[in-house]
Structure 1
Amino acid sequence: MKKYIYKILKSLDKLESNIAFYPSIISLFGLVFAFFMIYLESIGISKYLVENAPILVVNNTETARSLLTTFIAGLISIMVFSFSLVMILLNQASSNFSPRVLPGLISNRRHQIILGIYNSTLLYCIFTLVSITPQGDKYQMPGFSVLLGIIFMTFSLGAFIYFIHSISQEIQVNTIMDKIFKKSKARLEKLVEAEKHTDTRFEDTSDWKPIMSDRTGYMQDVSLKAMAELAEDHNLIIEIVPIKGAYILEGIPVLRYKGDVNDANDDIEDDKELEEELLATITFSNNEIIEDNYILAFKQITEIALKAMSPGINDPGTCINAIDYLTELFALRMRKKDQSFYFNEDDKALIHINTVSYEELLYNVMAALRTYSKHDIIVVQKLFIMFKYLLQQNNVLNENYKEAIIKEVINLKKDALNNHNNERDIELIKSYITKLKNVNPSDHNFEV
Structure 2
Amino acid sequence: MVNILSLVRRIFNSISFMTFCIALGFGILAIVLVITSPSLLNDYPQLAISDKDSVKFILTFTIGGIFTLTIFSYTMVMDVLNRSISNYSPRLIPLILKEKHHQIILGVTSGTIIYCMIMAAFVSGKSSDQFPSVAAPLAILMGIFNILLFIYFIHSVSQSIHVNYVLRKSFSNTKNAIYHIKNLPFEMTSEEKSKDFWEQYVSMTQCGYLNKIRIEKLIGISEEHDIQIKLLKKMGSFILENQPVIAVSRQINESIEQKIKRCISIDRGEPIDVIEVGLKHMVEVGVKASSPAINDPGTSLMSIDYLTQLFLLRKELPEFNTLKSDKGGVLKMDMVSYHKLAETCFLEMETYMKDDPVLKMKIFESKGIIGL
Would you call these one fold, judging by a TM-score over 0.5?
yes
Offset of residue 213 of structure 1: 3.2
Larger Rg, first or second structure (1 or 2):
1
Aligned-partner residue type, residue 173 of structure 2: K
Aligned-partner residue type, residue 33 of structure 2: M
Offset of residue 299 of structure 1: 1.0
What SS class does the counterpart of residue 229 from structure 2 fall into? Answer: strand
Worse overlay, 19-28 or 298-307: 19-28
Cα distance between partner residues in 1 of 2:59 and 2:359: 58
Aligned-partner residue type, residue 299 of structure 1: K
For residues 208-247 of structure 1, what are the alpha-carbon distances to aligned partners after superposition, in whole Å with 9 as ceiling and x for unaligned? 3462633321011112233223323443222212110111
Equivalent position of 1:81 in the other structure? 72
Offset of residue 56 of structure 1: 1.1
Cα distance between partner residues in 1 of 2:25 and 2:293: 47
- 2:338 paired residue among 349, 353, 358: 358
Offset of residue 296 of structure 1: 1.6
TM-score (norm. length: structure 1) = 0.76
Offset of residue 311 of structure 1: 0.7
TM-score (norm. length: structure 2) = 0.90
Aligned-partner residue type, residue 350 of structure 1: V
Q: Percent identity?
A: 27
Aligned-partner residue type, residue 279 of structure 2: F
Cα distance between partner residues in 1 of 2:26 and 2:158: 28
Cα distance between partner residues in 2 of 1:388 and 1:117: 50
What SS class does the counterpart of residue 294 from structure 2 fall into? Answer: coil
Cα distance between partner residues in 2 of 1:356 and 1:184: 15
Offset of residue 167 of structure 1: 0.9
Cα distance between partner residues in 1 of 2:137 and 2:86: 45
What SS class does the counterpart of residue 344 from structure 2 fall into? Answer: helix
What SS class does the counterpart of residue 254 from structure 1 fall into? Answer: strand
Q: Trace 1:33-112 onto structure 2 (pairs within 5 A).
A: 33-41=29-37, 45=39, 49=42, 52-112=43-103
For residues 128-156 of structure 1, what are the alpha-carbon distances to aligned partners after superposition, in whole Å with 9 as ceiling and x for unaligned? 2223367899x945432101110011111
Residue 180 (str. 1) matches residue 176 (str. 2): no
Equivalent position of 1:344 in the other structure? 325
Specify every segment of 5 or more residues in structure 2 that has no aligned partner in the other structure, as ranges: none
Cα distance between partner residues in 1 of 2:202 and 2:240: 9
Offset of residue 366 of structure 1: 1.1
Specify every segment of 5 or more residues in structure 1 that has no aligned partner in the other structure, as ranges: 392-404, 406-448
Residue 216 (str. 1) matches residue 207 (str. 2): yes
Q: Which has the higher contact order (CA 8 A, sep 6+)?
A: 2
Residue 147 (str. 1) matches residue 147 (str. 2): no
- 2:272 paired residue among 290, 294, 298: 290
- 1:319 paired residue among 280, 296, 300: 300
Offset of residue 118 of structure 1: 0.8
Residue 370 (str. 1) matches residue 350 (str. 2): yes
Matched-pair contact (CA < 8 Å) for 2:188–2:320 = no
What SS class does the counterpart of residue 311 from structure 1 fall into? Answer: coil
- 1:387 paired residue among 358, 363, 367: 367
Equivalent position of 1:306 in the other structure? 287
Offset of residue 295 of structure 1: 1.5
* Count of residues in correspondence between the two structures: 371
Q: 1:197 to 1:164 in 2, by over 3 A?
A: same
Q: Trace 1:97-246 onto structure 2 (pairs within 5 A).
A: 97-132=88-123, 140=130, 142-194=132-184, 196=186, 199-201=189-191, 203-205=193-195, 207-209=197-199, 211=201, 213-214=203-204, 215-246=206-237
Query: How large is the Cα RMSD of the aligned pairs?
Result: 2.6
What SS class does the counterpart of residue 310 from structure 1 fall into? Answer: coil
Matched-pair contact (CA < 8 Å) for 1:26–1:120 = yes
What SS class does the counterpart of residue 239 from structure 1 fall into? Answer: strand
